[in-house]
Copies of this chain bind each other. A is one copy, B any other.
Amino acid sequence: MKLYNYFRSSAAYRVRIALNLKGIAWEHFGVHLVKGEQRSPEYLKLNPAGLVPSLVDDEANVILQSLAIIEYLDEKFPQPVRLMPSDALARAHVRALSLSLACDAHPLNNVRVLSYLTKELGVTDAQKSAWISHWITTGLDAFEKSLAESGRPGTFCFGDTPTMADCVLVPQVFSARRFSVDVSQYPRVSAIDSHCNSLKAFQDAHPSKQQDFQP
């Protein structure tokens, strides 16, 4: 499979984790977001929004949007581990946890939004940092409370096997640390993140392990 990808993109990082958990071989196709490669005519033909990731599977199907890609992979490749629970209510909880970060936290801090804040609204670096911290903190705060109320405590976000929610949480925590948000204020989130990062599938998906990584 081909994954159009940028080492630091949280959305791409989610899909890398899912591919690794599934044991699916994938090829890295770099789309350098800071250089603007996502706006090249070729890439826009693949992904009209000019965002990463995009997956091209072995039958040349193009699948967009990280959460849609993860559910697709889970349905097509149920082995060796299911990333979505088999019960409808449990599945809804995993989707809700995933969406709470993917819709309500991450999009506010992606490259194009931060660029708009700086270029169009002229915000200062300090204001930009406060904006980033505010939305990460708001998102992780709600996530921590949702974990407490889920009734499914475990070593992962939902029970004792990894789900789509873990694929979303770990990149969000990486991003939080990068922007100096104190993650230790969220004990459940911190414990799950540590546990996930002890596993090779998560380690191999880390931005620093990607071939386009730049410090």
Contacts and interface: CB of A to CB of B under 8 A. Distances in A.
A161 to B, nearest CB: 19
A130 interface: yes
B107 A134 contact: no
A51 B100 CA distance: 10
A103 B92 contact: no
A134 B117 CA distance: 12
Interface residues of A, number: 47
Nearest to A45: B149
Interface in A85-103: 88-89, 91-93, 95-96, 99-100, 102-103
Given A72-B89, A88-B75, A49 B100 contact: yes
A135 B127 CA distance: 20
Contact of A99 (B68, B116, B117, B123): B68
A125 interface: no
A77 B24 CA distance: 33
A9 interface: no
A107 B64 CA distance: 19
Contacts of A127: 120-121
A103 B92 CA distance: 17
A116 B131 contact: yes
Q: Could you say how many copies of this chain the assembly holds?
A: 2
A145 B50 CA distance: 11
B91 A75 contact: yes
A81 interface: no
A167 to B, nearest CB: 14
Contact of A96 (B63, B100, B103, B142): B63
Given A48-B145, A49-B142, A96 B61 contact: no
Contacts of A141: 48
Given A100-B64, A103-B103, A92 B121 contact: no
Given A63-B96, A120-B134, 9 more contacts: A48-B141, A49-B146, A50-B142, A65-B96, A67-B95, A72-B89, A107-B108, A108-B113, A116-B131
